[in-house]
Structure 1
């Protein structure tokens, strides 16, 4: 597994169109991936040879060949997201504070789809293993100056006083087989909600474990998984 580089359930809904141009359909809807994400109070012990990497508010399963990098909004700022790169696809994770009694995923879906509409990204809400997900084709400009679109899938899970958002990019956004490994990682993440009073939607901070300098994680073509713009990385 690569080391670190520091760089800048509600019920499933039927699929419905949210914009005139639909994304390319997924090969199939993903099969059920059982498990979490887990709250730290009831998370099972990691099984077999699997261990979880302690990143502060998130504990992420360590998978052979997976690269991990943290994202922070600026120099000296606390990291707020972790990007996992595996098999040519990526999964960005962010944990947010949420109210004790109600979830925030339904409200956040509305905000994300509104932002996607504003940026002329085609999108639709589909059913996934953890409930409603947003599948979008986000317009990007490549390094060669040509415009194209990149598939992005937003996943959300409401927990006790926390919300976990995942963003799949690469083949895993539209292909069931390609998404399996990263979905299994997502389903075994543990969210650690500290005791601090935090307003809903505040990002729960992350930190790097005691690791030395590490190589850069591989770059995916098209959409930069660390870029906050096209991935709607900060929903306020």
Structure 2
């Protein structure tokens, strides 16, 4: 009888460990340290971005630093950027208020709505061809904040939006352990194969086959 009790006590930690490792949510965005589904993703260092057929990836730069990525597909665009955030509180409420102020100051409009990731902003921002409709999504994670901006067809059509919303759900954020002030962009990098292609091109030994290029900012608002 005592042996059986000891056996149960020995098994309890293992069962608890398996329970702790099980995903607590059905979808992301995911933190790199939590269990998440395996699928094809472009490894950009601070972000692992899922891609599908027909996707084109462009990069956002601040000087020489890569601070965001844009996924283009079938007339729609998804711009994603990850930022450092405090350990015990999110920053989406604060960022959202700043976005509303900045959009309106630029001559656009913005209003809050409930979407698949919680509160989001539906905005119209000035563009070269007139007002551009965009959706601002925000997700607070553990010590990081992910901002996504949807534009083009997906900002108006539910079917097109679903494709990019699924991308957001499967993004993996790699925050790292280094101290960073809140709102500081999490720096990205070219994936290994693109870095090798860029190095060969710089050395004059390969043609320009790098699909990762600097892309236009959908909005310069942080």
Question: Into which bin does the TM-score normalised by the smaller protein fall?
Answer: 0.7 to 0.9
Which of 141, 163, 170 is equivalent to 2:145? 163
| Cα distance in 1 for residues equivalent to 2:212 and 2:67 | 18
Tell which has more relative contact order, 1 or 2 (C-alpha 8 A, sep 6+).
1
Indicate whether 1:59 and 2:48 are aligned.
yes
Contact 1:43 1:190 in 2 (8 A): no
Provide the residue aligned with 1:96 in structure 2: 83
More helix by share: 2
* Secondary structure, aligned partner of 2:127: strand
Q: Unpaired segments of 5 or more residues in structure 1?
A: 1-33, 143-147, 218-224
Shift of 1:215: 4.9
Which of 133, 136, 151 is equivalent to 1:154? 136
What does residue range 109-120 of structure 1 map to in structure 2 within 5 Å?
109-120=96-107
| Cα distance in 2 for residues equivalent to 1:81 and 1:44 | 22
Shift of 1:43: 3.6
Contact 2:81 2:148 in 1 (8 A): yes
Indicate whether 1:175 and 2:157 are aligned.
yes
| Cα distance in 2 for residues equivalent to 1:62 and 1:187 | 12
* Secondary structure, aligned partner of 1:111: helix
Contact 2:56 2:211 in 1 (8 A): no
Indicate whether 1:107 and 2:97 are aligned.
no
Shift of 1:177: 1.0
What does residue range 20-59 of structure 1 map to in structure 2 within 5 Å?
35-46=27-38, 50-59=39-48
**Max radius of gyration: which structure?**
2
What does residue range 215-226 of structure 1 map to in structure 2 within 5 Å?
215=211, 226=216
* TM-score computed with the length of structure 2 as normaliser: 0.78
Q: How many residues align?
A: 182
| Cα distance in 1 for residues equivalent to 2:168 and 2:154 | 12
Shift of 1:171: 1.2
Provide the residue aligned with 1:227 in structure 2: 217
| Cα distance in 2 for residues equivalent to 1:181 and 1:80 | 23
Q: 1:234 to 1:140 in 2, by over 3 A?
A: closer
| Cα distance in 2 for residues equivalent to 1:216 and 1:149 | 28
| Cα distance in 2 for residues equivalent to 1:154 and 1:161 | 20
Provide the residue aligned with 2:59 in structure 1: 70
Q: 1:138 to 1:234 in 2, by over 3 A?
A: closer
- Could you say what the CA RMSD is over the residues aligned between the two structures, in angstroms? 1.6
